[in-house]
Structure 1
């Protein structure tokens, strides 16, 4: 069973574009904020000190949107086993009717804090997320 992490996001006026709903770049920001919060909440402190993650790919499906003052619940989890320095993360955003309106599959690469170099994702690093 994969550990899932949730966080609520509310659309503020600065998130809204000319179509009067949350701009696509804001959804990307929320994907990153959610992933970062999950890492901070679940990763071992020594791993947080040794490593950091960078996004190398985003794939997003938009099926709906929200307007100013409306909220979504973002849910994220690690999808599958890592491949070298890369790990895939899934994100779903649900509206007030519990309908998935935005889904993302993102690929992250893990780097060592001191050197800034890619490092293989070892099982013990992802263990708290599974």
Structure 2
């Protein structure tokens, strides 16, 4: 089985630009979080969405090139591993026109029960949501 890759596109708008006239570093992080949320929301059942929440333990981002106003970007994300209560999610952000890799990132997530906010082992049902056979 291989990880299921989730993709979406975004166009760089003026609110994404910082004083250096390129996409602000925090915006890339926001897009990564948005990609993770969209992937989870698309794949999870209503029951799973109500029973569980994800909390971030750690982010790691490598900036390779910049994006500027008007660029169309392709964001890709996938779950690379699950162990116990932790799940690691990878991200890549590309300039859609040139195909150039702009950002590589990963986030270590912890699965919590929504009602108690206590960490819980990731059930097989959730692991299977993010793989292609």
TM over 0.5, shorter chain: yes
RMSD: 0.9
Q: Aligned residues, how many?
A: 129
**Which residue number corresponds to residue 94 of structure 2?**
94
Q: Secondary structure at the match of 1:54?
A: strand
Runs of 4+ aligned residues of structure 1 deviating over 3 Å after TM superposition are: none
Query: Where is the strand percentage greater, Structure 1 or Structure 2?
Result: 2
Q: Secondary structure at the match of 2:69?
A: coil
Distance 1:53 1:73 in 2: 24
**Which residue number corresponds to residue 9 of structure 1?**
10
CA positional deviation for 1:45: 2.4
Q: Secondary structure at the match of 2:83?
A: coil
Q: Secondary structure at the match of 1:79?
A: strand
**Which residue number corresponds to residue 32 of structure 1?**
33
**Which residue number corresponds to residue 73 of structure 1?**
74
- Unaligned 5+ runs, structure 2: none
Determine if the alignment matches structure 1 residue 84 to structure 2 residue 79.
no
- Unaligned 5+ runs, structure 1: none
Q: Secondary structure at the match of 1:61?
A: strand
TM-score, structure 2 as length reference:
0.93
CA positional deviation for 1:4: 0.7
